[in-house]
Amino acid sequence: MLKNKKIGFIGSGAMAEALIDGILKANLVTPSQIIVNDISQNRLDHMTGKFGVLTTLSIKDTVKAADILFLTVKPQIINGVLDAIAPLLSPTTLVVSIAAGITIGILESKLVRIPIVRVMPNTPVAVGEGMSVLALGHYAGEENGELVLTIFSSVGRAIIMDENAMDAVTGLSGSGPGYVFVLIDALTDAGVRVGLSRQNSLVMAAQTLLGAAKMVLETGEHPAKLRDMVTSPGGTAIAGIHVLEQKGVRAALIDAVQAATKRSQEMGKKSHG
Establish whether 13 is an annotated binding residue.
yes
Alpha-carbon separation of residue 54 from 23, 33, 58, 90 (angstroms):
15, 8, 12, 21
Q: Specify whether the CB–CB gap between 99 and 80 falls below 8 A.
A: no
Residue 160 phi, psi (nearest 5) = -105, 135
- Which residues contact residue 217 at a Cβ distance below 8 angstroms, ignoring those fewer than 6 apart? none
Question: How do beta strands 54-56 and 34-37 pair?
Answer: parallel
Name residue 35's beta-bridge partners.
8, 54
Establish whether 15 is an annotated binding residue.
yes
Establish whether 59 is an annotated binding residue.
no
Amino acid occupying residue 67? D
Q: Which residues are annotated as a binding site for NADP(+)?
A: 10-15
Q: Which residues are annotated as a binding site?
A: 10-15
